Structure 1
Amino acid sequence: MKVTSLDNPVKVDWFFEQGCRLDPAPYLSGALEARKRLEALPNTVRLDCVTAGHSGGIFNGPKFSRIYLNDPGHSVPFLGSTDMLEADFSYLPRLSRDIATALPYLEVEPGMSLISCSGTIGRMAYVRPDMAGFWSSQHVMKVQADPDKIPSGYLYTFLRSGFGIPMIVSSAYGAIIQHIEPHHLVDLPVPRFDADLEQRIHDLVAEAADLRAAFQAGLHAATEDFFRSVGLPDLIDYRWHAQEPDLGFVVNGVSPATLRAINYRPRAQRLLDQLQSVPGTTLGEVCEGGMLRTGARFKRVDAGREHGVRLVGQRQAFWTRPEGRWISAAAAPADILQDDETILVAAHGTFGENEVYSRSVLVTGSALANAYSQDFVRVVSGIAEVPGAYLFALFRTNVLFRIFRSISVGGKQQEYHTQLLRALPVPLAPASDRARIAETVRQAYRDRDRADVLEDEALALLTQAIEEAEA
C-alpha cells in the first residue's frame, strides 16, 4: 500500500484544486507534491515561457493516413512513441516523403525533447544530431526549448527528472488508452538556476547525444568494414524488397530436414550463396565450445531492486534504456545472465516488418547487469579469434535479419530451425581485420555506456540543485 509522506502531507486546499476528487491517484502519484515543491522555489517559470516554435513549442500532431515505403529516396525515417526509445535506428519504418512534406512541423530537430503522449505516457528521448530528417507520429509530444531563454539539455533533464515525469503522467486522461495534450503541459513549473549550472547540465546532455550518434555511426562503420573485409561490398546496402519476389519458384533436391517453402525462398538462398562464396565457417562451428540455444523457461519470482535483477524482454532489449521487471536471480536459471559479448537474437515472434523477431543485440558493458528472458537465442563464440563483437557486425545487418526469418518454423509464433541455424555461413575476414572490426563495435558500446553516465550525472546535478534550493 502506498501512503503519503509525512514530510509532504496531502493538504485540504489540494482537494479544491483537484475539483474535490477523492480518489488517491492525484495525491499519491507525487505530481502534486512535485508541483508544490517547485512552486515554492524562488525562481520558477511556466514551461510555455521557455519554449518556442510551432504552436508555441509544445505540440504533437493530427491523425493522418500513413503510407510506408522501402525506398530511402521516397521516404523518411518515422518515429512512433516506442521507436524513439531505440538505441539503433537501423530498423525504423519509413514514411512516404509526400505525406511527410505535407506535415513539415512533425520533423524532429536536434535538441527537442520527445515525450510519449498516447498509451504509455511519459517515456522520453532527446533528439540527437543524427536524427535530423526524422519525422514523428501524433503519439509523440515535441517540446522545443527557446535557445534564448533556456538550454535544451537542461529542459530535457528537468522533464525526465523525478519532478517532471510525475507531473506529466498525472495529466493523462482516458480509460483504456491514456493521452496527454499540449495544453496539459504549458503550466508545468520549471525551476531556474544560475546560467553556469544550467549550461553545465546542458553540456552533459549534448555530449551524451553526440556519443549516442557516435554509437550509431560506429555500428554502421563496423558493418561496412565487415562486408568490405570479407569481399562482399555489394551487401553493405542490401535491400530485400528491391529483389525479385519469391513467387512461383521451384526447388530441386529438397532436404528431409524441412518441407516448408519459406526455408527455400530464393532471395534468402541467394544471400546464403554469397556468404558461402567467401572463406569462412558455420555458426555451429563458431559456437562449438560456446553456446547456441534459447534460454531455459522459468517461473518469475518478483523481488525488490535491492535484492533482484532487472529482467529484459525482446522488445525492451533494443531500447537505449531497457526497462523490465525485477526478479529474484536465485529463483531463476543461471542463463538469464550473460557472458561478455554474448549476442542475443530475438527468437520468438511474427513476421511483421516492424517486429523485433530476428533482430540481434550485443550484451556488453552496462548491459551485463541485466537478466534476459528465454526468448532469445544465446550466441556465444567458442573461438577466441572470432569474438562476439566481430560476429555482431554481421548479425545486426539486414542480411542476417532476412536469413534468420527464412529459417523459421512454427505456426503463429515463429522460432528458428535448429539445424538450419547451425548451418548458417559466417564469413571470416583476415585476423587483423577481425580485430579492427571488433574494436569498432566495442568502442561504439563504450560510447553508449558513457552517454548513460553523462545523462545520469546531469540528472543528479539538477536534483541536487532543487533539494539545496528547498533547504
Structure 2
Amino acid sequence: MKTFVVDEPSVGALRALNYSPAVERIRRAGSNSARPLSSIVKEFGRAYGTVFTRRDCDSNHGVELITQGDMFAAEPTGRIIRLDSMHHPERHIVTRGQVLISGAGTLGENELFGRSILADGRLVGKYVGPHAMALQFEAPDDDFSLFTYAWLACPTGIQAIRSTSYGTKILGLRKDLLGSLPIPLAHSSVVGKIASLVRSCSEGRETFLRDIRRARTLVEQLPEMQQAHEMCGALRRHSIMWSGPFPSLVAWNFASSGGALRHLRTKWKSTLGDLVEQGGIYNGPRFARVECRPPFGVEFMSQRDAMLIRPAPRQIVHPGFDDRLLFAREGTILVGGHGTLGEGEVFGRAVLVHGRYSQAAFTQDLLRVVPKASKAHALYAYLTTTVGFRLLRTTAVGTKILSLREDMLRALPVPDWPTDVERDVSELVRSAFDARVKAEHAETEALRIIEQEVVPQWLE
C-alpha cells in the first residue's frame, strides 16, 4: 500500500489509480525537464477499442491478426482472418517502429497489461486487434523516439502507463491521460546510447527469427517431411486405417496427423527416445508458490512466460526439492505439457533453454525433454516445424486439460539425418539463439540504464 500527495489532481481523473508517485515527481520538476508523450507521438491507437467479427479463412487469402499475447511472443503467430473483417484495415496494420502496448487486462504484477514492445520485422505487416494501443511516433527511428520506448518499457514506465487506466474488472487505457505522460529529458549521449541498444535488440530479434526459419526450412525440405506436411499441414477432419499398435484407445492419437505419423514411422528408424538421455522426459512436481522479492528467491516462469520474447516471471521462494525438477539445463527442450488443442495455444509448442532460461525455475506444466548434447539444436528445429508440432500433439491424452504421454512421445519418429543437413540445421539454431541472447542483453541494459541511472536523477 502506497500513500503520496498529488499537487494538482485533475477533475478528469479522480481515482487514486490514475496517479503515480514517479510521474508526479517528474511533473513537479517542470516542463523544462520533460516532454509530454503527445508531442512525440502523432497517432494514439487508431484501432484501439474497435469491435469487429473475425472471419477465419485460408492463409493464402487472409491476413494475420495478432492478440496481445502474440505481440510479445518470441515467434508471433496470429489467426488468419479475412481483410474485410475489419472496417478500416489500414488502422490495424503494424508498421516498423510503432510501440505496441497491451491495452486491456488487470494490474497483476506479472500481467501483460501496460507492457510495451517495439515493432520490429517479426511483427511488421501483421494486424492488431482492439486491445493493442499502437503508438506511431513522428520520427520512428529517431534517437529520442527509441529512448521514449525504453522509458515506457522499464518498470517505472509500466507503472506510469498503468496510471492511465480506467474501468472495473478489465481495465483499458485512456488516450488523454496517456498523451499527457511526461517523458523526462536526458543528456544526448545517454539518449544515443539507449537508442543504439534498442536498435541492437531489434536487429538481434529479427536475426533470431530469420535463422530459426532457415533451419526449419532445411528440415522441411527433406522428402519425407514434404510428404508428411501434405498429410497434416492443413487442419481438417481425418479418417485413416490403423492396424496397431494401440497404446491408447483414443482415435486422436492415431488419426489427428492424417497418416503422417504412420508414414514417418515407415521412413525413419530413429525415435525420440533414441535421442534423449535416460529419464530425460519428465514434468516437475506440483508445489505451492510463495511470492517474494529479489534478491531473494528464484525467477519462476509459467508456460506463457517461456514462450515470450521478454518474459515477465514471478519471483518465488525456492520450494526446497531437487533443482533438477525445478530448473532446466542449457539445451533442454521445454514443451507446453498441459492445455487444450486450440491453434493459438501453448500446448505442444516447444522452446529451447538458453541464456537466462538456464537460471530460471519452470512450472511443472512444461514438459522437460533432455536430448543428448549433440542432438539438441537439430531436434528442436524438427519439433517446432508444423509436422513436429502436429506429432507432439498426437500424444495428447485426457479430457478437458490434456497432457502428453511419455511412452507415446518416446515412440515418435525423428529424422535419420543426412550428416550435412543436421550440421547446417544445428549451426543455424545456435546462431539464432546467440542472436536472441545478445538482443536480450541489449534491451536489458537499455532498461537498466533508464531505471537505475536516469530515473533517479529525474526524481531527485
| TM-score, reference length from structure 2 | 0.89
Superposed, 1:260-271 pairs within 5 Å as: 260-265=250-255, 268-271=257-260
* Counterpart among 258, 263, 270 of residue 281 in structure 1: 270
- Please name the residue that 1:92 is paired with: 78
**Paired residues, what number?**
450
Superposed, 1:36-47 pairs within 5 Å as: 36-40=25-29, 42-47=32-37
- Please name the residue that 2:403 is paired with: 415
Does the CA-based 8 Å contact 1:26-1:32 persist in structure 2?
no
Deviations 1:238-290 (A, max 9, x none): 684647621xx35343444221111221x515222343344441112222425
- Please name the residue that 1:111 is paired with: 97
SS at match of 2:368: strand
Superposed, 1:379-418 pairs within 5 Å as: 379-381=369-371, 383-385=372-374, 387-418=375-406
SS at match of 1:72: coil
SS at match of 2:281: strand
Moved more, 97-106 or 234-243: 234-243
262 and 172 in structure 1: CA distance in 2 versus 1, 3 angstrom threshold: same
Distance 2:154 2:22 in 1: 14
Shift of 1:110: 0.7
- Please name the residue that 2:110 is paired with: none
Distance 2:13 2:281 in 1: 59
| Percent identity between the two aligned chains | 28
SS at match of 1:404: helix
Superposed, 1:147-162 pairs within 5 Å as: 147=139, 151-162=144-155
452 and 261 in structure 1: CA distance in 2 versus 1, 3 angstrom threshold: same
399 and 20 in structure 1: CA distance in 2 versus 1, 3 angstrom threshold: closer
Distance 1:443 1:309 in 2: 28
Output the amino acid matched with 1:78.
L
Superposed, 1:306-325 pairs within 5 Å as: 306-325=295-314
Gaps of 5+ in 2: 107-112
Gaps of 5+ in 1: 5-9
Distance 1:233 1:250 in 2: 19
Does the CA-based 8 Å contact 1:76-1:135 persist in structure 2?
yes
Distance 1:109 1:19 in 2: 32
Deviations 1:169-220 (A, max 9, x none): 0121111111113222111111233444433322221221111011111111
Moved more, 214-223 or 191-200: 191-200
2:424 matches 1:436: yes
2:210 matches 1:223: no
SS at match of 2:391: helix
Does the CA-based 8 Å contact 2:67-2:78 persist in structure 1?
no
Shift of 1:447: 1.0
Does the CA-based 8 Å contact 2:301-2:360 persist in structure 1?
yes
Does the CA-based 8 Å contact 2:395-2:405 persist in structure 1?
yes
- Please name the residue that 1:141 is paired with: 133
Distance 2:445 2:373 in 1: 36
Shift of 1:58: 6.8
SS at match of 2:114: coil
SS at match of 1:411: coil
26 and 152 in structure 1: CA distance in 2 versus 1, 3 angstrom threshold: closer
- Please name the residue that 1:7 is paired with: none
- Please name the residue that 1:75 is paired with: 62
Does the CA-based 8 Å contact 1:279-1:428 persist in structure 2?
yes
Distance 2:217 2:284 in 1: 31
220 and 347 in structure 1: CA distance in 2 versus 1, 3 angstrom threshold: same
SS at match of 2:352: strand
* Counterpart among 7, 12, 22 of residue 13 in structure 1: 7
Output the amino acid matched with 1:347.
G
SS at match of 1:125: strand
Moved more, 208-217 or 97-106: 97-106
Distance 1:424 1:115 in 2: 40
SS at match of 1:226: helix
| TM-score, reference length from structure 1 | 0.87
Shift of 1:162: 3.6
Distance 2:147 2:157 in 1: 12
59 and 100 in structure 1: CA distance in 2 versus 1, 3 angstrom threshold: closer
157 and 77 in structure 1: CA distance in 2 versus 1, 3 angstrom threshold: same
Output the amino acid matched with 1:179.
G
SS at match of 1:13: coil
